[in-house]
């Protein structure tokens, strides 16, 4: 019973803080398809045979361990507006922007705060997080967590709708969902997404998050219309996150020389 309760609490944590289980696995699965072959082989070896989809939720799993509490702030950042982006100062406890740059640098320099596997697990998760628009919050409502809504008649909040509600609506596995979202992505799209920085990803999320709010309508009756209005943006961010996770890792390993 104790184990069941612990697992239930852990699942509740996912809803509050990140793309749901399926969303993160989608990002990891897409990334595996865009890694350079030698990088892909190295990552599989480093992770003991697991791939980026399988480890993508590890940063949420460890929230149940008090010794990792200091990492909780690394899942999000607060940027009031695009105008504040150039003057953004990372808080002392860190944020997702800082954490991504930290772990990419560790991969390149091979100077690890823990080890290479830890850095890979963190990046597989955090690059997904930063592409969820509400993980780059405006500082007023905890990234939509305080915006209470009813989504298909169930009590929820805006952040949870974006983390899991919009994805779970389709009732697909992460492999099915990955195939679907990538079916409309062209080589030109992929090329335009590569070579971008963490700051670019934050900027995009800050610019896009207004749509999360403006399309709500009646917060007590969110459903089909909200799905219709936001599925394209949702798919864009999942696809971009997967492609960019792969690109960032390809670049980091190539920079080792």
pLDDT tens for residues 2-49? Answer: 333 343 334 333 344 466 899 999 999 999 999 999 999 999 999 999
At residue 4, the pLDDT reads 36
At residue 18, the pLDDT reads 62
Higher-pLDDT residue of 203, 16? 203
134 within a domain of the structure (yes/no): yes
> Looking at residue 47, what DSSP letter applies?
T
pTM of the model: 0.92
71 within a domain of the structure (yes/no): no
Q: What are the tens digits of pLDDT across the range 69-87?
A: 999 999 999 999 999 999 9
Phi, psi of 148 (to 5 degrees): -80, 135
Q: Domain of 237?
A: 13-62+92-254
Question: What CATH number should be reported for the domain holding residue 150?
Answer: 1.10.575.10
| C-beta separation of 81 from 206 below 8 A | yes
The CA distance from 158 to 16, in Å, is 10
Higher-pLDDT residue of 3, 171? 171
The H or E element containing residue 231 is helix 224-254
Q: What are the tens digits of pLDDT across the range 216-233?
A: 999 999 999 999 999 999
132 within a domain of the structure (yes/no): yes
The H or E element containing residue 136 is strand 136-137
Q: What are the tens digits of pLDDT across the range 102-133?
A: 999 999 999 999 999 999 999 999 999 999 99
4 within a domain of the structure (yes/no): no
Output the average pLDDT for the chain.
Answer: 93
Burial of 134-157, coded b for 16+ CB within 10 Å and e otherwise, reads bbbbbeeebbbbebebebeeeebb
Domain count, the chain: 1
Q: Where residue 93 falls among pLDDT bands split at 50, 70, 90?
A: very high
Average pLDDT over residues 133-162: 97
202 within a domain of the structure (yes/no): yes
83 within a domain of the structure (yes/no): no
Classify 54 as helix, strand or coil.
Answer: helix
The CA distance from 134 to 181, in Å, is 20
49 within a domain of the structure (yes/no): yes
87 within a domain of the structure (yes/no): no
At residue 20, the pLDDT reads 83
């Amino acid at each position: 019973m104790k184990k069941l309760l612990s697992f239930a609490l852990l699942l509740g944590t996912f809803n509050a803080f990140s793309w749901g289980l399926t969303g993160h696995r989608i990002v990891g699965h897409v990334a595996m398809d865009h890694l350079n072959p030698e990088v892909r082989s190295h990552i599989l070896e480093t992770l003991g045979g697991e791939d980026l989809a399988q480890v993508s939720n590890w940063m949420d799993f460890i929230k149940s361990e008090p010794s990792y509490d200091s990492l909780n702030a690394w899942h999000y950042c607060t940027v009031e507006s695009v105008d504040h982006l150039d003057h953004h100062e990372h808080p002392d406890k860190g944020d997702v922007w800082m954490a991504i740059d930290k772990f990419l640098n560790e991969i390149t320099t091979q100077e690890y705060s823990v080890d290479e596997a830890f850095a890979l697990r963190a990046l597989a998760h955090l690059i997904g997080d930063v592409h969820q628009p509400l993980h780059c919050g405006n500082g007023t409502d905890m990234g939509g967590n305080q915006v209470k809504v009813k989504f298909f008649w169930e009590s929820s909040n805006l952040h949870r709708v974006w983390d899991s509600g919009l994805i779970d609506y389709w009732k697909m596995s992460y492999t099915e969902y990955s195939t679907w979202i990538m079916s409309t992505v062209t080589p030109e799209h992929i090329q335009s997404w590569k070579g971008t920085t963490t700051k670019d990803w934050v900027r995009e999320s800050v610019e896009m998050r207004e749509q999360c709010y403006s399309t709500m309508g009646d917060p007590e009756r969110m459903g089909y219309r909200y799905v219709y209005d936001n599925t394209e943006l949702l798919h864009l961010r999942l696809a971009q996150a997967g492609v960019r996770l792969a690109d960032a890792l390809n670049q980091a390993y190539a920079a080792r020389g």
